Amino acid sequence: MSDLPAQGLEGPTQDLVSDVFARGCTSRAAFEDVTSKWASLVLIALGEGRYRFNALRRRVDGVSERMLSQTLQTLERDGMLTREVLTAIPPRVEYSLTPLGARVAEQLRGLADLLEASVPELQTARERERD
């Protein structure tokens, strides 16, 4: 039995406990943001280096301009990337990962590598499903 209450100390409050399975947890909201299709691909791409908007849009094949803009805003709000306006004519904007974004991108890159290496297995499973 703990003697914490006897010393006038209490255990952690529910506000301090992070649990990705809890509906109201900040980590869950960030998890949902990061695991969206476009956000995951944007993070992996930015793991390669800085990108301007249009170059990033070309790298993440299939994303619309509107969806990329929304995704970048969400990731910036979550502290995953920074948006830097460069003084040039015309002005340029570049996106890069924060330290947190780099750690998340590294984990996503590992998942992407695993899936890319597993394409034969994935194709076999999908062919079985069609039969």
Q: What is the pLDDT of residues 37-57, one digit of tens each?
A: 999 999 999 999 999 999 999
- Give the global pTM: 0.83
Q: Which residues of the chain have pLDDT under 70?
A: 1-16
Which pair of tokens denotes residue 74?
């969400």
- The whole-number pLDDT of residue 3 equals 46
For residue 93, the cross-strand partners are 85
Question: CA–CA separation, 102 vs 47, rounded Å?
Answer: 6
- The whole-number pLDDT of residue 18 equals 87
State phi, psi for 106 to the nearest 5 degrees: -65, -40
Which pair of tokens denotes residue 100?
């947190």
- The whole-number pLDDT of residue 129 equals 81
Q: What are the CA-CA distances from residue 60 to residues 5, 7, 54, 97, 101 (Å)?
A: 54, 56, 10, 16, 17
Question: CA–CA separation, 61 vs 67, rounded Å?
Answer: 12
